[in-house]
Structure formats: structure tokens, C-alpha cells
Amino acid sequence: MLKKSIHTMIITMISRVLGLFRGTLVAYFFGASVLTDAYYSAFKISNFFRQLLGEGALGNTFIPLYHKKKKEEGEERSREYIFSVLNITFLFSFVVSVLMIIFSSYIIDFIVVGFSEELKIVASRLLKIMSFYFLFISLSGMMGSILNNFGYFAIPASTSIFFNLSIIFSAMWLTKYFDIDALAYGVLIGGILQFLVVFFPFLKLLKTYSLKIDFKDVYLKLLGIKLIPMLIGVFARQINTIVDQFFASFLVAGSITALENASRVYLLPVGVFGVTISNVLFPSISKAAANNDKEGTNRSLISALNFLNFLTIPSLFVLTFFSKDVIRLIFSYGKFNEEAVKITAECLLYYSLGLLFYVGVQLVSKAYYAMGDNKRPAKFSITAIIMNIVLNYLFIKNFQHKGLALATSISSGANFFLLLIIYVKNYVKLDLKNLIFTTIKITISSIIATGAAYYINNVILKLVIFSAVFLLQWAYPIYKYRERVFYKK
């Protein structure tokens, strides 16, 4: 697992760094303004639908059922099942994309109530341009899940590189012709590129394709049944960002942009570490669950959680204690002024408090899906979204944008602990003592590294010293135990 995770993480890291550079360019050309608020609002809506199918519910539901079907009915029937699911994905995504174009103004009216009428018109236009991004990213995400299942993790992970390059190109060379619309065209072109990157390897892997949909397939019906609670769960997790947008639309101009930029920074370790490791781990947990191998599940999950903590806890300390330094380094160029730095850094600080929980949710949710349990993650996600809405309402008056970020962190923590406690109670007795002990050691190492770097003024040198001090404390254990350092019985 470790070797595959590291290879995929390198690719994902490149993509996320490009994503940050993309955000830097948007900040350079447009600052934190009403136009960027409109762009990020429209993008969040199209991206929200992507999370439902492109990278979320469908792939997670499909993979365990694919393994069962292959075991019971053989290779040929399982391939036909792949084609049926992909064809349905195409039809559904096409219809939703068309509906987004038709009803874009109504969607914008509902999501960002606090926008002026002029700004709503801009956001609606941008959403129309980006609508078919959902079609291409849904197909890309589904094909990527299938490639992951066959052990090809690098190709799906690399798709975001092309997406980011598309927006970077649009920001640098098309903005002078199309203004803010250039970014929306970049999103659409990026979605097409992501689809093409996985489409050809997918065809090479399966060697053929069929447009047939076998509606009589029992597993297709079972997919639909299991997909409903999964969709509810993913919907609830993603609606948090939409809820934040709703409340932020009533705040000063640039608040939505500040939340978006801060979330992109704190989601860097989530994407690089959490999503990567959970995607690599998911097929092996699914197979262990199918064989009722509880010890294998325990070992895989605890080692993955410890590895995640090793990567995430130091990230949490950096983003919390050095938030303003990080934001200034990434975004403080062009029209992105010092006030924008201040509010973005404040958002980052409060988002970062929930980083460990948000990453953990990505992984533990996968463990539920591997067990065929889609209902509990959905219930816990709904609980978290209700908590987030209530906390947003309570915090926004006194804490403004900071309150929205803090509410997200608290609700993520509640979601994580519900998932972990109920999983241990109902499925596998995880070695939580090992997890807690390793977490404490990593936290102490992070505290020491923070103290060593805290009073250094140069941000690059500060980050280098933090990383060096932290890694030096773990150099010998990793050298001695290798991968076993994250799970020693």
C-alpha cells in the first residue's frame, strides 16, 4: 500500500500545487472581488455535482458490487456490468448538464441569495458555460474508479493536472479577451481533457466497448438501491460548501473568494493524503471484507490512519500557526491586497482545526462502503450538515467568515467520531490504542518542529526548518521498521 500511495501522492501533489498556482493567477488578475465571488459560486455548483458522481457515490458503490459479480458470474458478465453503468452515467449526466443550463438563473438565485441582481446574472452566465463540465467529469471519475480497481492509480490521479493546466492557460492568455468568462471556459476544457486522459487507457484495458444497458441485471438494480443512501451521504458532505456560500453571500465582497482560497489550501493535504490513500486502500479493504478477513481489515485501516496522521498532523500545525505566512506566499500578488490576505488567513486557520477529521472521514467512509454499508455514512453526514447549518447561523453574526470555517471544522469532527465509534462497535474491533499512541507521538513531534520554526521570519526557511525538524525525529524509526512503523503489534 505504501509504495502505491507514495507514487500516487507525488502525482496528486503536482496537481495540487498546480491548483494553488491556478488560484494564485486568479487572485493576481481579479483579486478577491465580486467577480471572483461569482466565478467561485458558479464553479462550486458544477463541482458539487461532480463530487456526487465524478469522484464520490457512484464509484464507491460500484466497486464492491463489481467484485461480487465477478466472483459469482465471471469476467465477461462483470465487464458487461461496467458498460451498463457507464452508459447510464452518460445519459444521467447529459440530462443534468442540460437542466443546469436551462435553470441556471434559478439555481443561482437559490444558492447565493445575498448577491446583487447584476452579480447573479454574471454567476448564471458562468454556470451555463461550465454546465457540461459535469458530463465529462462524471465519465472521467467513473472510468478512473475502474482503473483504480485494476491497480492503475497514477492515470486517474493525473487527470487533475490537465484540468489545472487548462485554467492556468485560460487565466494567462484568454482573460484579456473574455474577462472572468475565460475561467469558465477553462473549467469546461479542463473537464474534456480529464475525460480524454482516462478514456484511452480505459479502452486499452477493456479492449472493447458496448453501448448496451442490461436493465434486467440484478446487480444494476442493486446499484441503484445502494446508491440512494450513498448519494445522500455525499450530498450532505458537499452541501456544507454550498451552505457556507449561502451565508457568505451576505458578508462583505470577497468573503466567498477568501473561503474558497483558504479551502483550497487546507484541502491540499486532504487531496494529496486522504483521497489518495483511501483510493489505494479501497480495493484491498473491499476484497478483505468479501473474504470476511477482519484482521486484514484492521491492519489495513489502522496502518492507513496512522500514515494519514503522520502526514496530516504536521500539515495542521503549519496551516494553523503559519496561516498568514502561507497565504501571503501563495496569493499576495497583483490585485490580491493585504486585507484579502488577512481574511483568507483567518479562514484558513479555522478550517485547519478540522483538517485531521476531514481527512479521516475520507478514509473511514471507504471502510463502511467496503462492508456494503452505505446508510450509516449517509446518516452521519446528514447529522454533520445539520450541525454545520446551526453553527453557521450561531457564529456568523459575531465571527463572520471565521465562524463559517469554524463551523465546518466542528461538524467534520462530529462526523469523524461518529463514523469511527460505530464502525468499531459494529464491524471490526480496531486497535485504537495503537492509533492513539501513534497520534500522540506525531503530535509531540509537530509541537517540537513548530517551536523550532516559529520565530523565523522568512516563510520558505520557516517551512524548511519545520519539515527538517519533524522528519529528523522520525528518520530512525522509519529506517528501522519501514512500513511497519505505522502498525507494530
- CB 215: neighbour CB atoms within 10 A? 9
What's the rounded Cα separation, in Å, for the pair 81 and 70? Answer: 10
| pLDDT given for residue 375 in this prediction | 83
What residues contact 156, with CB distance under 8 A and at least 6 apart? 143, 144, 145, 147, 148, 198, 279
Q: Which of 340-349, 363-372, 441-450 has the lowest mean pLDDT?
A: 363-372
| pLDDT given for residue 480 in this prediction | 76
What's the rounded Cα separation, in Å, for the pair 61 and 82? Answer: 12
| pLDDT given for residue 346 in this prediction | 94
What's the rounded Cα separation, in Å, for the pair 416 and 306? Answer: 15
Residue 180, H or E segment: none
- Per the CB < 8 A criterion, the answer to whether 195 and 136 are in contact is yes
Q: Is residue 13 over pLDDT 60?
A: yes
| pLDDT given for residue 242 in this prediction | 78
What's the rounded Cα separation, in Å, for the pair 433 and 436? Answer: 5
- Per the CB < 8 A criterion, the answer to whether 41 and 256 are in contact is yes
- Per the CB < 8 A criterion, the answer to whether 295 and 428 are in contact is no
Q: What is the mean pLDDT of the chain?
A: 85
Kindly report, residue by residue over 260-279, the tens digit of the pLDDT.
889 888 877 776 666 666 66
Q: Domain coordinates of the chain in residue numbers?
A: 2-486
What's the rounded Cα separation, in Å, for the pair 141 and 344? Answer: 30
| pLDDT given for residue 113 in this prediction | 84
Q: Is the pTM of this model over 0.95?
A: no
Helices (H), 74-132: 75-102, 104-111, 117-130
| pLDDT given for residue 53 in this prediction | 58
What residues contact 390, with CB distance under 8 A and at least 6 apart? none
Of 177, 234, 195, 181, nearest in space to 59 by CA = 234
The three cell numbers of residue 182 are 475565460
Q: Is residue 489 over pLDDT 60?
A: no
Kindly report, residue by residue over 281-338, the tens digit of the pLDDT.
666 776 676 677 777 777 777 877 888 888 889 999 999 999 999 999 988 888 888 8
HSE of 285, CA atoms in CB hemisphere, 13 A: 27
Task: Give the chain's end-to-end CA distance (angstroms, integer).
Answer: 18
